[in-house]
Amino acid sequence: MAAPGLSESVLEAIGDTPLIEVEEGIYAKLEYLNPSGSIKARIARYIVEKAEREGLLLPGHTIVEATSGNTGNAFSMVAAIKGYRMVVLMPEGLSTERVAISRAFGAHIEHVGEFYVTEALKRARELGKKEGYFCPAQFDSEWNVEENREWLGKEILGQLEEGGVGAPDALVMGVGTGGTLIGVGQAFREKNAEAKLIAVEPEESCTLLCGESGVHKIEGISDGFVPGIYERHAERLGVDEVYAVGSEEALGAMRWLARRRGLFVGPSSGANLVAARRLKEAHPELKSIVTLFCDEGEKYISEHFPATREVEAEAR
């Protein structure tokens, strides 16, 4: 037990991230400020500790997960703190920084497939069935939904209430696993049954809208398939619309957030802002649209923040 005023580990720094009004009527939860640099720190801690309580994860075990990057970083961080071995399965062709972060936490990285996580998922399921391995199965796990409803969702509702905003009118969220849209959406609907739920995916990879997948630049969403969580819950919960956002538009919003708001975030955050603005324009009567800025820009420096004269001139 840590002494008063001290923390036992960095796990205690997860959560309680700021909620800010980034534009009139658009509120952004700054999840990129979590340790590990993304919203995924929440499910990593939640799922690992629940698996420990259920007896599914024991000392000496290995955690294995398929990821496009952020979940691998988060589970690698938690594994390092708790003394588990970690195997991160991820495709080639994604952010080199996110690979390096998992490796820095001591994880073993295995590249499976190209760009999409479908092949990595198969490998994770195979390993997860072996003795001494635990697979969190982020794309299917109800614990993912549970965490987002009971922890993140209630945290946002408390901040809105404390800030005098009241019940949220809408949630706008890119779909990676679908856990945040569904879980936080459930919490919002308990507070306001009429709250709009808007899913976001890349224009170049409209998997939810039309069943197609393509290469895009908004890493962390649209992994090449409809996640089990979204498939099970979207119709029953009543997701209102799916907005398709182009990669370049998302990247433009991402850079605008850094240069005009001091928010150094990744491309999915830009996509979420674009979609939130679009919803606000279509429904000006909505007074409180909530979105999330899910991961930090440091994970994309080599890809999207090049040190060129053109970029520097654009910023002036």
Pairing of strands 19-23, 133-134: unpaired
Is residue 38 annotated as part of the catalytic site, yes or no? no
What does the alpha-carbon distance between residue 64 and residue 125 come to, in Å, rounded to a whole number? 9
Query: Is the pTM value of this prediction over 0.85?
Result: yes
pLDDT of residue 113: 84
Report the candidate in 131, 100, 278, 303 with the shortest Cα–Cα distance to residue 219.
303
Catalytic pick from 268, 269, 280, 288? 268
Q: How far is CA 26 from CA 29, 196, 236, 245, in A?
A: 10, 13, 26, 17
pLDDT of residue 135: 97
Report the candidate in 254, 274, 265 with the shortest Cα–Cα distance to residue 297.
265
What does the alpha-carbon distance between residue 130 and residue 89 come to, in Å, rounded to a whole number? 16
3-state SS string for 228-278? HHHHHHHHHHCCCEEEEECHHHHHHHHHHHHHHHCCCECHHHHHHHHHHHH
Cβ–Cβ under 8 Å, residues 186 and 46: no
pLDDT of residue 306: 76
Is residue 268 annotated as part of the catalytic site, yes or no? yes
pLDDT of residue 316: 43
| pLDDT tens digit at each of 316 positions of the chain | 677 789 999 999 999 999 999 999 999 999 999 999 999 999 999 999 999 999 999 999 999 999 988 999 999 999 999 999 999 999 888 789 999 999 999 999 999 988 778 889 999 999 999 999 999 999 999 999 999 999 999 999 999 999 999 999 999 999 999 999 999 999 999 999 999 999 999 999 989 998 888 888 999 898 888 999 999 999 999 999 999 999 999 999 999 999 999 999 999 999 999 999 999 999 999 999 999 999 999 999 988 887 654 554 454 4
Pairing of strands 289-293, 170-174: parallel
pLDDT of residue 315: 46
Catalytic pick from 29, 36, 38, 40? 40
